[in-house]
Structure 1
């Protein structure tokens, strides 16, 4: 079923010299590890199908057939023709027909890439990659055969994955997406199989529904799928891994890379429903190829009677797959799952698929799902990960990363395509903590009664000697070292309204473990006071504050005393007769 990459003859092929020039032009711009085939298209000849790519999710499409047509050799950016004087205004073609992408489909790709740029900036997902995959999977939703909301006007379904020339994937959605209650089929413009859509599906158009038949939903889901595992698609190795994980085929990788290169050189928007359909599929099937625009109905011509076909033979029962032989799933050595908020869990999460006799079953997909009120995720930011079991039947989930929400939740393991009891793993996220607090300055803190302290209190939190960031803290003014209640006199903070406050809650250390308290003020009571700062984890620091009495002003003479003193001085100065 592999595509005959680089060997098929194409209609209207250019002369050898022109093809050679195209090859040279493409070669000059290739990324490391990328080569050019005999027709001048980008390939990854040295990209090997890695176990990581194969085992991670079993391919988004279930390795369903895909379109193998390649982009034309001519540039998608010819010079724009000069308008004819007096000609009516209208859309001007800015490239060959294959460079045109239906308007709604193009909009969906660009919006999905923009959302990923904000939520997973390190992935560096180009919208042209979504366009390349959309071209190969469904011919851009069958030439843009979608309504104004981006939903396909008719279902786009891949062949039955019944093991007859394709993978055998038994029904996982009770026919909800693909209409088949026996086996699964790839669905929609980006051709997700139901078991993958169950966790990868997204609502891309904000209507509250995750619909694989909607190009906005499917494009956003494809973007998140390609950006999992922490992949950076600006690097060739990660780009190859991501594409192979979508459909595990070297020819598929080469075909997508060719369209990616083509779209990067330029595309233009065309009306919905006017795009071209590819003509060849990897399973050898040929499609019509022109456009999806409906043609005028024709009157059928009567044909000669068709001889009665012989009675079909009863199909043979396919051999059971590894998944069919799984009797149960069990935990194998999963350690205690506890992590501090923001940190990775040390314990590995694993499950083993076994037959009734207890023998491990390899090549079985096990889906791990984070369940509960938590923001913990697996590596790459997803709450679901599907991993194939190894030869001993063991599947190990990716590293689990704690979020900021504390408390317990569950990681549930199930066998994809087989109804057996799930295995639950309990996990707990504890709050960020500090075990030590120290002042960043040794300056004594004092002021006069009724005044304000010149220096603000700043402390640094550490835990096990390391910086303790985002740790919750409380500051309280107390009367003595052993007092746990708030003092009702002495220094105080001010709230937003200028009122005296002697307890501050909801404080948090910054990225460097530092906490700087607001300015302190003193009432008119002199004395020595204590400020106690505590954090989650038990760190405590008591800071001494000194309030000195206001200085006593010099006594001012009364008016009577002043007048008497003046009179005496005057009399003494008068000469006697």
Structure 2
């Protein structure tokens, strides 16, 4: 009872602080105070989308309530170096990669990586303690409770045990705790290996982005943000916790910690170690202790107690039987015998290249090719469940796998094939080698792929035009009070990176002039030929402020691109017309 009272008091304090935080988050993100969420618009779970139903035990500790254990960073149960807000390196890369891909795939959603990280923090504490690897996989599976009803939802098996290992009931799986049927709808390939795996944090993070952005939500809207998080878990405490962590990460109060930092993993199944029911072993009673009756000092019926005056004759000490084990010496454990029902896996003998050996692409792009190798035994048969290491080697190269890593590990499938994630070329021109080895098998000959990164071709525009048509007029010795924006396009699509120059010319644009309108250089001196830079992501350049000197008349700005596209912007410098002054001559007054 004392333990229950202590836990109840702790929960009460947590609930009080949670309620206080709700008020602050209401102003920040439009989250209303706790209420019954039944029938909450499109965030309510549907039969085909049970993610919002109770499917596990989230970690609802808030940033300001997270256990602090100063001086124990890096030790089991200790805090991260920055006060429990640290994110493992690979998890952070996965969240940021998911937001970057979502910006392209779902541009109207505007999902920040910090929101995905908030989900990851509450669902599994970023997979901490589960052996997170650089390729996004974990050494130990992260699984919620069997969804058999009662405290949690009842969801019969939907994936034939593929993801959760259970062919009777579903279980939420992976770093962001997807229910298998929800993953079937929202699953995504975040690391470019051709597999959508909810147990891989790169895939899980992008799948989370897809799920939160469903129903054309725009997460810049506080109402849509609220609906999105509620759709993941129909709990106001859950919304509060996720948004609190999101705001914490957005404030910059976050650091990177190693993937393998020792920590006690959060168990979403609720099976707290030490509280699981145990089956009594042979010879034990349910209450503990042994079923063997202890020796009694009472005499046995029918037997006479020896007289205390008569000494009991001593039995001779028996000689040790060489056929029986000596009880003073520990019995050596027998060597485990191989299970005849299980085949012994064949060792990997060699790697076979399954994709092109040479690749090339341009700076700033991704390689279309992905490295594939097959692990084979001596008989030439495929070997499954073999860990294959892919490592980018080469001086000066900026190439990396998605997430920024230079080295990842993948596991061969049933066909013996392992596929590397997509590689980003980076901004440096050059060559590099993708070196492939078998983990723990130094005797297997490595396989290399050779890649070349070429300079990206210069962008080309077939048309430049002015956006809008504001009158470009000024008075002598005054600035032009108008904005000039130039748009570059090719086949009707905006083109970024188009360089342009502007030259002040005569009215017909054919001859440069030495007087008239001008720009200012970095020293504030007048110049009549100016480098405008390059178009932005929307294919546009906005001209800097320009001025008129004392000369009046018609002029042009001659805008020219690197591939000789020309646009003339007409300018006029007009002297201000004098206003008519009222007559100051006194009117004649008739004499009296």
TM-score of the superposition, structure 1-length normalised? 0.42
Q: Say which structure, 1 or 2, has more relative contact order (CA 8 Å, 6+ apart).
A: 1
